[in-house]
Structure 1
Amino acid sequence: MTSVDMLRTPAALADAERWTAHNYHPLPVVIADGDGAWVTDVDGRRYLDCLAGYSALNFGHRHPRLIEAAHAQLDRITLTSRAFVHDQFADFCRGLAELCGTDLVLPMNTGAEAVETAIKVARKWGYRVKGVPDGRATIVVAENNFHGRTTTIVSFSTDPDARDDFGPYTPGFVTVPYGDLDALAAAVDDTTVAVLLEPIQGEAGVLVPPAGYLAGVRRLCDERNTLFIADEIQSGLGRTGRTFAVEHEGVVPDMYVLGKALGGGIVPVSAVAARREVLGVLKPGEHGSTFGGNPLACAVGTEVVKLLATGEFQRRSAALGAHLHAGLGALVGQGVVAVRGRGLWAGVDIDPALMTGRQACERLAERGVLAKDTHGSTIRLAPPLVVTEGDLDWALEQLAAVLREAR
């Protein structure tokens, strides 16, 4: 190990503090390299990545097939804008549409852009198809949601950190408790064009809704002629043991909102996928993005779709997720209060009498495990789907040690 006087981390952290706005509060780790489920910092110390870029790295760091696809495209063309069609575009859109079982795909870049796209499409569908009076469209959302950080999206956030001081806020949203079908039914009226939900609320602490909730949402939307929009940006593409989290209840939404893992951890790629009668309401000039669906993004995204088409990663997530949750369950009463999640995704409530979530993540990082806290004493675990059972056992040992030392 490099001597303390030779460590590069302190200077790198100081530079970051000096030159960047404080929109994040990162752990004091400066990553320089990554391979699979592991990363290495500027001083050569290795860490098991149990966050995976908030699920953007479902296939691990530098997955060989994704890197190969990116390299090949970099040697050809990386951007055309949507003013022209490029030779990677149709393959990506067709592959993703088939994976989703839908007719059309609209590629964008970031998850927030995809959510904004879904909102615009739902409103136009409401006016042109459902017959909602102009300017009256409403969308029902859930408390503790996290759909992004644009001014429209934070307008319906209930998180003070995301919302406060960013008004005036965009109207047209009705908020109900997550998991409460009766409250949802009472909120949906003739002006409702969509219900926008995360099938599992990630930022809120990996909150899984009550059994039957998503199926109930689907039935309600069918009865009220309202679109069901599933924000699968974090929960989708293999994270929960299925391609999409809604599949755990056999549900097919009217629109999938996708991102993060769709870009393989290489480029930002997002998309909305829906039936033709929904997404087809858009006409040329009404919505767009210079970088949306660019050749590099499509080349990587196409390979991501191919990886998912085999079902291998979904099966790994299901099997390894069961192992992870069994290990976490054994820590309940040993410093852990509760565990939630599906597949390789877990929200772990640490006993607040022992430490905060931030303190738990700092102590885990000292032991070589990277995780992220949220809301008080909760930490989130979402390792890449290429993680091994041995890796998970080692991470569980580190968490057990952190809890033991605090008791």
Structure 2
Amino acid sequence: MDHTDSVSPEPASAEPEFTEPELAEPYLREVLGTAGLAVEYVRAEDNTLFRLGEDGAEIPVVDFAGGYGSVLLGHNHPEIVRRATELLAAGTPVHAQFSRHPYANRLAAELNRIIHRELETDEPYFAIFANTGAEAVEAAVKHAELDRVMRLAALQEELAAHTESAREAVAASTAVVTAQTYARLGITAPAPAGDFDVLAAELTRRNAEQFARPPLFLSLEGGFHGKLAASVQLTHNEAYRTPFKSLAAQARFVPRERPDALKEIHAEERRTVWDVTVSDGRVELTEREIPAFCAFLVEPIQGEGGIQVLSAEFAAEIQRFCESVDCPVVIDEIQSGMGRTGTLLASSQIGLRGDYYTLAKTLGGGIAKTSVMLVRQARYRKEFEIVHSSTFAKDSFSCHIALKVLELLEADGGAAYRRAVERGEALRAALTSVREDFPEVVKDVRGKGLMLGMEFHDQSGSSSPILRDAAAGGLFGYVLAGHLLHRHDIRTFPTASALSTLRFEPSLQLSDTQIAQLESGLRDICGIMRDHAGERLTGASAH
């Protein structure tokens, strides 16, 4: 490739000029244009997207963004396209809501078969289907809250029964309320002594306050779980979360790899209610902890947080903590799952077992828009099936496509999983080589399988105004991505909440030639940063 000319940041394209006003997210297009990323792709296959040059000819671009992890099997995989064509030609019913869906049940069963193998369990996981990853997360937290509410309701009934039993014992003079019992609530013993109604009223008031408190979620710092009303409050990035804070329940964000923080948060947030019992002729009070935490959301590999890998040690601490406080674990496998790291569930490699799993992206084979939330039998509430639904979920087309995806992943004894590991190792070797040659520029290379990231050192102190301004303005990673696109025909992006980290999530079709092409491009941008030569990033297309 001959990349010698420096031209405008947003190159001319072969697309026709339109007279209509820009109405489809025009500001985003403007931002993309600033970094040279506002290009149109006209075709896609395998690990390649195609855009048009000024002469109208196709320019192949190696896709390392991979639909943010959606196309592990490649763009327009021929077997998936063939299956989609068959389904549409046969008139498969996309809209047959509120009827029997045997294909959805087959998909749930196949997911269970693979999960049972990876987790070495036979406990069923019930499936609630959705359309997007964020919707699957919303379904998980809704289900977890329904479970928490139902557990609280059962506890309230139990406490009410205990209170009534104590009332009857006092009325029958088989039990008395002592001054010490009143003192535990900070109230003065009434006259006549032993008036149970005073005690019961105070217990009811205090317990009602605790039961009425909103749920609290736990999520890791750097975590990303979507941008919908509830899921965005579980996403650590304040820019996404803060404007909508009043719309949904809040989260406490746990520092990564800090098990001591779990105990601190529990001590600060634990909630208790008062229970009343009769023992040896006296009415006694007992504090009982109630579920304050609705769920703990965890990504085994944080995608938007900078490709941060959860350690097996911290995963074990999370598991123990959640078991001790009866808090369900929601494992967000939307980006890391579906074979990208060598197993269907990346979390299975570190011994983390979820009460809930969310899967999406590659589940649709790069064609169907589908996702699933899985709930283990021990947590499942059948009532959820009535209070939650989705117009497009569980349809014949997406379920059959997802079944084809699982068939391809499992074929030849799981050859796709093994290829994800092998291609990931080859890609990581290239990234590591760049880091070793540019230690002053590249801070870290991390990830697993075909979910890798390269983090650069902060450039806000660069002597180059272009690099310095890009770092200060929050566009640093996008400027690098624009240069890689126009100079090296490489497509990638920074992670959304860690803009100094470039993501690499290609398909299984990734070739050695494409890895070498990426390595060449990375060496170029590393040389630019090392030499503080930001002016070289202002160039765009050499085609």
TM-score by length of 2: 0.69
Matching residue's letter, 2:377 = R
Matched, 1:30 2:40: yes
Alpha-carbon offset, residue 201 of structure 1: 0.9
Aligned runs of 1:3-402 on 2, under 5 Å?
9=13, 11=15, 18-21=22-25, 22-23=27-28, 25-26=31-32, 27-43=37-53, 44-75=58-89, 76-101=91-116, 102-129=124-151, 133=211, 136-188=214-266, 189=270, 190-310=291-411, 311-332=414-435, 333-334=437-438, 335-353=441-459, 355=467, 356-366=476-486, 367-374=488-495, 375-402=498-525
Query: Does 278-287 or 361-370 show the bigger shift?
Result: 278-287
CA distance in 2, matches of 1:252, 1:15: 54
Secondary structure at the counterpart of residue 244 of structure 2? coil
Distance 1:284 1:317, change over 3 A: closer
Larger radius of gyration: 2
Distance 1:15 1:122, change over 3 A: farther
Give 5+ residue unaligned stretches, structure 1: none
Alpha-carbon offset, residue 103 of structure 1: 2.9
Give 5+ residue unaligned stretches, structure 2: 2-6, 117-123, 156-210, 271-290, 468-475, 532-543
CA distance in 1, matches of 2:314, 2:95: 43
Alpha-carbon offset, residue 391 of structure 1: 1.9
State the Cα RMSD in Å.
2.5
After superposition, the C-alpha distances for 1:197-222 in whole angstroms (9 at most, x for unaligned) are 11111101101133411122122222
Query: Does 74-83 or 315-324 show the bigger shift?
Result: 74-83
CA contact (8 A) 2:225 2:234 kept: no
Alpha-carbon offset, residue 378 of structure 1: 1.8
Query: Does 210-219 or 320-329 show the bigger shift?
Result: 210-219
Structure with more helix by fraction: 2
CA distance in 1, matches of 2:21, 2:340: 33
After superposition, the C-alpha distances for 1:167-208 in whole angstroms (9 at most, x for unaligned) are 424124222213322212333444123211111111011011
Distance 1:405 1:135, change over 3 A: closer
CA distance in 1, matches of 2:101, 2:252: 40
CA contact (8 A) 2:299 2:310 kept: no
Q: Percent of aligned positions with the same letter in both sequences?
A: 26
CA contact (8 A) 1:145 1:158 kept: yes
Query: Does 94-103 or 64-73 show the bigger shift?
Result: 94-103
Secondary structure at the counterpart of residue 166 of structure 1? helix
Alpha-carbon offset, residue 342 of structure 1: 0.9
Distance 1:16 1:233, change over 3 A: farther
Distance 1:162 1:316, change over 3 A: same
Alpha-carbon offset, residue 314 of structure 1: 1.6
Matching residue's letter, 1:359 = V
Alpha-carbon offset, residue 16 of structure 1: 9.8
Distance 1:292 1:48, change over 3 A: same
CA distance in 1, matches of 2:359, 2:21: 32
Query: Does 152-161 or 199-208 show the bigger shift?
Result: 152-161
CA contact (8 A) 1:97 1:273 kept: no
CA distance in 2, matches of 1:14, 1:186: 58
Matching residue's letter, 2:301 = I
CA distance in 1, matches of 2:455, 2:519: 14
CA contact (8 A) 1:80 1:86 kept: no
Alpha-carbon offset, residue 376 of structure 1: 3.3
CA distance in 2, matches of 1:274, 1:19: 40
State the number of aligned residues: 403
Distance 1:135 1:85, change over 3 A: farther
CA contact (8 A) 2:217 2:234 kept: no
Matching residue's letter, 2:87 = Q
CA distance in 2, matches of 1:184, 1:261: 33
CA distance in 2, matches of 1:268, 1:183: 37
Query: Does 383-392 or 223-232 show the bigger shift?
Result: 383-392
